Structure 1
Amino acid sequence: MASSKIAAKTVPGIAPADDAAVEVAAAAFCGIQRGAATGVWDDFVDLLAEDVRIMIPVPATEENAPEGVLRGRDVARRMFSNRHVEKVQGARLEGKRIAANGPLVVIESRVEGNLGGEDVANHFIFVFEVRDGEISSMYEYASWTAKSAHSGWSDPTFARDAFDETVLPFDAASH
């Protein structure tokens, strides 16, 4: 029978949270909150490293959809200032849970708003890697179940029930 207590040193790749990385990731998430609500993404993009790697889920049905991992702050600035301004309107993101492994920070969130002309209530996971006080990589994972008329996920009440508390609330006054 395996022991239920495993010494941390025997688990490969597990490290204590890097508090400074958590602060940078939380600031980046707040920049994403602001960008989703207002279309102004500068607070987020300014935290990106020059050689940042970004992967975001973009449905293949999108015209001229960016594919694969995007590289570089300038590429990110162009994408967020053009594509996201048109596709994301008045979305409200709330950070629900945060986990960190060294400089890798995961923020689980819920979003309500209008994405591409459709009212949605989805869940997103943002994974930030912080290096030298900047975001060196960001991966976004999304549940697109709100697209299904039978899932119930497009009902904001249903989506709100998935989490008990909010750790990074949406503050309309700051956006």
Structure 2
Amino acid sequence: MAQNSENTLKVAQQAFKHFRHGLETGEWNQFLDMLTEDFSFWFPMGKFHGLNVGKQRAQEFFQYVAQAFTPGLQVTSLDRITSNETTVVFEFRDEGLLFGQPYKNRVAVSFDVRGDKICGYREYFGSDGKSN
């Protein structure tokens, strides 16, 4: 069954709302509830560098994110949303404290949608935290 791009965008926007809530509060349950059991994600650095598979691994990752960005990150702008039948990319800026140090970045997150769930996630960031 082919997905339609309107439903994909709707599901991804709901997931991004939960994702943003997770960044801002460290509470990821609503986002995690939207993931498929075979969820996979790609992260560009650190302990979770490369491809990671499974909802349990995602739970470990987002718990790590919550600890790294205590008390949370603020999304300061949502700059662009790009979508097709299966994937939606959100480009945004955020800032806060990373392990207690000032942090500011430009980020793109890509959600792969299957039905009403997120089955894949990729994250890319471009600023070193010191630039605007």
- Both structures adopt the same fold (TM-score exceeding 0.5): yes
Q: How does 1:26-175 map to 2 (within 5 A)?
A: 26-59=13-46, 65-81=47-63, 83-89=64-70, 90-93=72-75, 94-147=77-130, 153=131, 159=132
Which of structure 1's runs of 4+ aligned residues deviate more than 2 A?
none
* CA RMSD, 1 decimal: 1.6
C-alpha separation in 2, matches of 1:144 and 1:58: 14
The one-letter code matched in structure 1 to 2:85 is G
Give a deviation string over 1:130-175, Cα, whole Å, max 9, x none. 011111111000113225xxxxx1xxxxx3xxxxxxxxxxxxxxxx
In the alignment of these two chains, the number of paired residues is 127
C-alpha separation in 1, matches of 2:27 and 2:74: 14
The one-letter code matched in structure 2 to 1:67 is H
Structure possessing the higher relative contact order (Cα contacts under 8 Å, 6 or more residues apart): 2
Give a deviation string over 1:100-145, Cα, whole Å, max 9, x none. 1211111111101112222122100011110111111110001132
The one-letter code matched in structure 2 to 1:87 is A
Instruction: State the structure with more CA Rg.
Output: 1
Shift of 1:19: 1.1
Runs of 5+ in structure 2 lacking a partner? none
C-alpha separation in 1, matches of 2:12 and 2:94: 18
Contact 2:39 2:54 in 1 (8 A): yes
The percentage of aligned residue pairs carrying the same residue is: 30
Task: Give the TM-score of the pair, scaled to structure 2.
Answer: 0.87
C-alpha separation in 1, matches of 2:96 and 2:7: 31
Runs of 5+ in structure 1 lacking a partner? 1-16, 60-64, 148-152, 154-158, 160-175
Contact 2:81 2:89 in 1 (8 A): yes
Task: Give the TM-score of the pair, scaled to structure 1.
Answer: 0.67
Q: Does 1:18 align with 2:5?
A: yes
